């Protein structure tokens, strides 16, 4: 059996030696940046190498959605390896069963392969997480997240979550108290093992007859409360709580802090990355002006690298002829197609009067200006990009 092992040393070398003595064709790579790249390259070339098995550390930088997708397509079996709650939760999210101990012997691995892996639990129909992202420069991602949640809440249970660890704004935009429990409290309850649907009902704020809201942190210094493992677990419970969960995340996707430090500490951008990787759909918001499109093109490549094969729907927000000249829509379409290969774009026009009225009233635009072109554009986006019929609620 041709096997690729991507584990920390000395486990990788030891397991490779034991399997080689059992007659297996084994290659081991270290779990470093070059080693991970080699492992992924080996999986991508599996069609030529006839790779049968991948033994990989169950970590977010190694066991990714992209890697699992490629292995599924090529028929490569994955054995996750790790100890503790985080590796087990990650392996379960991909339907890979219980991770094997890194100290397990080669013979134990062979015995484990004789038993079929437990099937992944089927997701509940219609229950999904939508993350709303946009590059730096305030393209209007929070506004789109709010209007999207309000539109979806017309005929289904919707949760709106502010997971922005840099500049949360949903509570301020909607006139909700930012001293309440919010999403940070949900993450703390995860750490205590006490988060369930009833607890989410208790700590959430209801926006009229619209979505239930989990507000963000009220001080930037509280970002360590939104740890990666807590965010992932909280969103898993949200799938049971609401039909659709809309998550507003921050712009930065950098992992520089992981490069400059080998310590397993908290990462400020971990909440954003975790929410994006847990989402079933990413709504990427670009400001429809030359600067906004330029920033979006630069950030889109990093977004795609972060989320792998997860579908991304692109929204060009605040469209206006003045900033782009004649044929503003065509200018945006051609730019995104040329520089990012994006062909499907949805447009939300600028309507400063309705947007200002909503800010003044601290309510969604859909509540204060129902005939605003912003509301119509979001409704069209929901019906087309999300395949949701809004005619009954219109």
Q: pLDDT tens digit string along 271-300?
A: 999 999 999 999 999 999 999 999 999 999
3-state secondary structure of 370: coil
Q: Which of 32-36, 166-170, 251-255, 288-292 is least confident?
A: 32-36
Please name which of 77, 81, 123 lies closest in space to residue 98, comparing C-alpha atoms: 81
Please name which of 317, 386, 384, 379 lies closest in space to residue 348, comparing C-alpha atoms: 317
In which band, very low, low, confident or very high, does the pLDDT at 6 lie, cut at 50, 70 and 90? confident
Q: Is the pLDDT assigned to residue 72 strictly greater than 90?
A: no
CA dist 253 and 267 (Å) reads 11
Q: Do the two domains 2-114 and 128-385 of this chain adopt the same fold?
A: yes
Spell out the domain ranges in the chain: 2-114, 128-385
What does the pLDDT read at residue 269?
92
What does the pLDDT read at residue 31?
60
CATH number of 2-114: 3.40.50.2300
Q: Is the pLDDT assigned to residue 230 strictly greater than 90?
A: yes
Q: Which residue has the tokens 């100290």?
A: 103
What does the pLDDT read at residue 35?
44
Antiparallel, parallel or unpaired: β 205-206 and 212-214 = antiparallel
Partners of 212 in the β-ladder: 159, 206
What does the pLDDT read at residue 293?
95
Q: For residue 120, which phi and psi values (nearest 5 degrees)?
A: -70, 140
In which band, very low, low, confident or very high, does the pLDDT at 60 lie, cut at 50, 70 and 90? confident
pLDDT (tens digit per residue) in 249-276: 999 998 755 444 444 455 889 999 999 9
What does the pLDDT read at residue 109?
79
For the domain made up of 128-385, the CATH class stated in words is alpha beta
Q: Is the pLDDT assigned to residue 71 strictly greater than 80?
A: no
């Amino acid at each position: 059996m041709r096997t690729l092992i991507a584990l920390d040393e000395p486990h990788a070398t030891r397991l490779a030696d034991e399997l080689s003595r059992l007659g297996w064709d084994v290659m081991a790579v270290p779990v470093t940046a070059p080693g991970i790249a080699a492992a992924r390259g080996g999986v991508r070339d599996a069609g030529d190498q006839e790779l049968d098995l991948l033994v990989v550390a169950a970590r977010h930088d190694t066991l990714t959605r992209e890697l699992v997708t490629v292995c599924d397509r090529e028929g490569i079996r994955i054995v996750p390896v790790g100890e503790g709650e985080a590796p087990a939760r990650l392996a379960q999210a991909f339907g890979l069963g219980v991770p094997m101990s890194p100290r397990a012997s080669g013979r134990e691995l062979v015995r484990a392969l004789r038993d079929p892996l437990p099937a992944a639990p089927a997701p509940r129909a219609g229950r999904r997480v939508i993350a709303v992202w946009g590059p730096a420069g305030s393209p209007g991602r929070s506004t789109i997240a709010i209007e999207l949640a309000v539109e979806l809440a017309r005929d289904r249970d919707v949760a709106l979550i502010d997971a922005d660890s840099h500049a949360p704004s949903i509570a301020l935009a909607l006139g909700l108290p930012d001293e309440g429990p919010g999403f940070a409290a949900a993450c703390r309850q995860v750490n205590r093992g006490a988060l369930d649907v009833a607890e989410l009902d208790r700590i959430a704020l209801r926006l009229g007859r619209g979505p239930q809201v989990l507000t963000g942190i009220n001080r930037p210094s509280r970002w360590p409360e939104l740890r990666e493992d807590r965010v992932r677990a909280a969103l898993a419970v949200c799938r049971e709580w609401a039909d659709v969960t809309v998550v507003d995340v921050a712009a930065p996707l950098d992992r520089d802090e992981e490069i400059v430090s080998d310590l397993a500490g908290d990462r400020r951008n971990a909440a954003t990355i975790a929410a994006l990787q847990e989402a079933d759909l990413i709504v990427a918001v670009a400001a429809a002006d030359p600067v906004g499109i330029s920033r979006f093109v630069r950030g889109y490549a990093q977004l795609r690298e972060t989320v792998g094969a997860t579908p991304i729907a692109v929204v060009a927000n605040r469209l206006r002829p003045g900033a782009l000249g004649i044929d503003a829509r065509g200018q945006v379409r051609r730019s995104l197609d040329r520089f990012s290969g994006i062909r499907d774009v949805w447009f939300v026009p600028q309507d400063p009067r309705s947007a200002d009225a909503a800010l003044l009233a601290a309510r969604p635009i859909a509540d204060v200006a129902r005939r605003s072109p912003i509301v119509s554009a979001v409704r069209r986006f929901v019906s087309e990009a999300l395949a949701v019929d809004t005619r009954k609620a219109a």
